[in-house]
Amino acid sequence: MKGSNLGELEEIVLLVVGILYDEAYGVAIQEEMDQRCDRKATLSTIHVALHRLEEKGYLESRLDGATNERGGRRKLLFRVTKSGQKALAASRELRNDLWRAIPKTAFSI
């Protein structure tokens, strides 16, 4: 089915949301991606991926309470859904199958 496979950025964002669990919002995701993957992404790029993943049903979002340090603004927090967990498991299985299919002699150069 078209659109059900995860792109690289989508997979990374989905994994990072899982890592951050209940504290996954734009800036935290951006910082975690930079720290863990040494991958720089703009907030707008991350937000596009988050909303695309939410449209696919792989993420759900909710508004957190407003804080003074954020000038009274609320955070939009994300969490991986059951469908998102299944998509990540399928992606991992596909990658593992591909790795297992490489002949041992292919990397013995």
Amino acid in the structure at residue 92: R
Count of structural domains, the chain: 1
Task: For residue 2, tell me if it sits in a domain.
Answer: no
Q: How confident is the model over 35-52, as a mean pLDDT? A: 96
Percent of the chain scored above 70 by pLDDT? 90
Task: For residue 22, tell me if it sits in a domain.
Answer: yes
- Give the CA distances from residue 18 to residues 5, 12, 55, in Å, rounded to whole numbers and listed in that order: 18, 10, 17
Residue 2 pLDDT greater than 60, yes or no: no
With CA atoms as reference, report the closest residue to 59 among 47, 67, 45.
47
Enclosing domain of residue 93: 9-103
Residue 104's pLDDT is 86
* CATH number for the domain harbouring residue 71: 1.10.10.10
The number of angstroms, rounded, from the C-alpha of 28 to the middle of its chain's C-alpha atoms is 12
All residues at 6 or more sequence positions from 40 whose CB lies less than 8 Å from its CB, including other chains: 33, 34
Alpha helix locations (H) across 1-109? 8-20, 26-37, 43-55, 82-101
pLDDT in tens, 51-94: 999 999 999 999 987 666 766 778 999 999 999 999 999 999 99
